Amino acid sequence: MAPQKTAKRKVAALPYNVRNTKAGKDKTTEPLFERRPRSFGIGQDIQPRADLTRFVKWPKYVLLQRQRKILRMRLKVPPAINQFTQTADRNTAVQLFKLLSKYRPETKQEKKTRLTAQAEKVAAGQKQQESEKPSVVKYGINHITSLVESKKAQLVVIANDVDPIEVKFCDKSVFVGND
């Protein structure tokens, strides 16, 4: 028999992307930034904080306001009701607040000074004059309703965020009924 040739076989070269990663590992490692994988088994590392907001027992008012928001998005609101959700623009609001500040109810201090001045006039022997009450802004849902029913209200301002909405319609029904 003829002697067999012993040929050394070459191993195939590594693919390019594997070659680069192997070369990167040969670099010196930083001891400051050593990778330490954590194990979250029983009695081992503490698990990272999870977002548990879905499982929180929210207060009743938070649940109600979220449900109300979803209902308002899903339901069609009649225009007569929807008009109360729109606020006045900034210029109108500024003019309104200027007007309301002119008719602001008097404070306790102002009332006291007005009444003491009136009492001094009476004590001095001057004729007591019938002074009319200063015209001021009236407020409160029941008071406003009675003023509207008696046709004494000249301007009614309603806040847009009144809740429950029926409070607004108490007055609205009064307006419609008084032609």
- The pLDDT value recorded for residue 98 is 95
Q: What's the predicted TM-score (pTM) here? A: 0.48
In sign, the C-alpha dihedral spanning 163, 166, 170, 173 is positive
Q: What is the pLDDT of residues 17-43, one digit of tens each?
A: 766 655 555 556 677 888 888 888 888
Question: What pLDDT shows up at residue 172?
Answer: 53
Tens-place pLDDT, residues 137-179: 998 888 888 888 888 888 888 887 777 666 666 655 555 555 5
Closest CA to 177 of 156, 159, 137, 150: 150
d(CA 94, CA 73): 30
Q: Of 161, 165, 100, whose CA–CA distance to 135 is shortest? A: 100
